[in-house]
């Protein structure tokens, strides 16, 4: 079965501090991992995907198959990063999402 776990419901950090949003997954095959973000009053949208190994808005995420993790990181948080973040996995079934982490960046 596919499962995504985001252990933190809420994460508060000060502006300029590093951010790490945790994501662990369960899947026996080779997964595709994603981070989606939902800003206030906006639609859920793709932030980044592990296969492209890109940095979007300063965020990066590395797939660690040994630890079955795909944590989202940013070295210096900005106020505009405040949003709801969802980790998602696609295996042999459609996208499965975690319960999300609300990031609050305090000025």
Partner 1 sequence: GAGVSQSPSNKVTEKGKDVELRCDPISGHTALYWYRQSLGQGLEFLIYFQGNSAPDKSGLPSDRFSAERTGGSVSTLTIQRTQQEDSAVYLCASSFLWDDTEAFFGQGTRLTVV
Q: List interacting residues with partner 1 (CB under 8 A).
A: 6, 9, 32, 34, 43-46, 49, 51-52, 86, 88, 90, 93-100
| Residue found under tokens 């042999």 | 92
Please, what is the minimum distance in Å from the beta carbon of residue 44 to partner 1?
Answer: 4
Give the residue with the Cβ less far from partner 1, 72 or 88: 88
In the complex, the smallest distance separating the C-beta of residue 42 from partner 1, rounded to whole angstroms, is: 9
Tokens found for residue 99? 């319960």
Residue 52 beta carbon to partner 1: minimum distance, rounded to whole angstroms: 8
If the CB atoms of residues 44 and 73 are measured against partner 1, the closer one turns out to be 44
Calpha distance 85→36 (Å, rounded):
6
Beta bridge partners of 49: 34
Pick the closest to residue 35 from 9, 60, 66 (CA basis): 60
Nearer to partner 1, 28 or 92 (CB): 92
Closer residue to partner 1, CB minimum distance, 15 or 90: 90
3-state class (DSSP) for residue 66: coil
Question: Number of helices and strands (H, E) in the chain?
Answer: 0, 11
């Amino acid at each position: 079965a596919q499962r995504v776990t985001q252990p933190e419901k809420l994460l508060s950090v000060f502006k300029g501090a590093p951010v790490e949003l945790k994501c662990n997954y369960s899947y026996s095959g080779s997964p595709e991992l994603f981070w989606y973000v939902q800003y206030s009053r906006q639609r859920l949208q793709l932030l980044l995907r592990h296969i492209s190994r890109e940095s979007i808005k300063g965020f990066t995420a590395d797939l660690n198959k040994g630890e079955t993790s795909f944590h989202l990181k940013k070295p210096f948080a900005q106020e505009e990063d405040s949003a709801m973040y969802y980790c998602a996995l696609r295996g042999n079934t459609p996208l499965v999402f975690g319960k999300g982490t609300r990031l609050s960046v305090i000025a």
